[in-house]
Amino acid sequence: MTREALFADPWVRTLIAQALAEDIGPGDVSTQVAVPAARRVRARVAARREGVLAGAPLLAAVYEQLDPGVTVNLLVPDGWRLQAGEFVADLEGPTAALLSGERTALNFLQHLSGIATLTAEYVAAVAGTACQVLDTRKTLPGWRALAKYAVRCGGGVNHRLGLYDRIMFKDNHWAAGGRRIADLVARGRRLYPALAIEVEVDSLAEFELALPLGVEWILLDNFTPEQAAAAVALRDRAGAGTRLEASGNVTLATIGAFARAGIDACSVGRLTHSAPALDLAMDLELLP
């Protein structure tokens, strides 16, 4: 999905509406008590620490739903490497609307920028190699398209968007299906010939069984970098075109070793399930 299509997606608009309803409910009582209805204000969103920006168009999308009288001027694009203290956006409009939407807008921006920032750290750790940094399906329910967009902002590459766009046989499929992996691959080719197939293996012995099947990807689950290097050597000696993905045991401390072993990609669940939010804040200035 393109950036433009993502932010125009009805799913995203609904997510924003639900977030605003969750936070404001029947009304922002603190703002109703404290702020005169006619007062206007200027606001700036700033980074409190270094990081990579993602989700900036959601600032305008939040306030468009809350109060079209708020104007949003983005100062830097998504993917921008922010410095501490750097401004992200200027906003102007009714004080009450800016205050009521502040937390919802920042929640989107901080979470997505945190994903982009962590992804960029992993991408930097494999610089100079051909290894891609992949995300996973370990995302907050309802946030997947946004989270995977944030991964792209950080220089990562999207893995499966869902269960529908790649055949991926894991150990539970082997156990539950009651079929040999070769039979599963053949059945997958027959039923979904347009989809790539990936097979997860837990050992070099399983890898040697899967390699002759000619699948597009083999996932090396919880391999060490040394075991991954052995799998790469086996693949290369066989002249197979299968690409290898490492998953599990992939951290900032280990991903470089996997990349140098010749792995084509490393998938990292923590990019989307455990990325710390980037510290961003909104500061208000009363207009004369």
**pTM exceeds 0.85 for this model:** yes
pLDDT band at 156 (very low <50, low <70, confident <90, very high): very high
Task: Give me the CATH topology for the region 126-273.
Answer: TIM Barrel (3.20.20)
* pLDDT tens for each residue of 214-271: 999 999 999 999 999 999 999 999 998 999 999 998 999 999 999 999 999 999 999 9
Residue 177 has pLDDT above 80, yes or no: no
Residue 175 has pLDDT above 70, yes or no: no
Range 134-164 burial, b when 16+ CB lie within 10 A, else e: bbbbebeeebbbbbbbbbbbbbbebbbeeee
Query: Among the options 3, 13, 40, 138, which is catalytic?
Result: 138
Residue range 14-32: mean pLDDT, rounded: 96
- Which pLDDT value is given to residue 173? 77
Q: Tokens 């950036």 appear where?
A: 3
| Residue 200 falls in the annotated catalytic set | yes
**Mean pLDDT, residues 65-91:** 97
Q: Which residues touch 114 (CB under 8 Å, ≥6 apart)?
A: 51, 275, 276, 277, 278
Helix axes 10-24, 57-66, angle to 10 degrees: 60
- On average, the pLDDT of the chain sits at 95
Name residue 52's beta-bridge partners: 81
Residue 170 known to be catalytic: yes
Q: Is the pLDDT of residue 179 over 80?
A: no
Q: Which listed residue (135, 198, 221, 245) is catalytic?
A: 221
**Structure confidence by residue, pLDDT tens digits, 91-134:** 999 999 999 999 999 999 999 999 999 999 999 999 999 999 99
The residue ranges of every structural domain in the chain are 3-123+275-286, 126-273
pLDDT, residue 224, reads 97
Q: What are phi and psi of 165, to 5 degrees?
A: -110, 5
Q: Are 173 and 183 in contact (CB under 8 A)?
A: no
Q: Which CATH number does 3-123+275-286 carry?
A: 3.90.1170.20
d(CA 117, CA 100): 27
Catalytic residue among 200, 206, 245, 264: 200
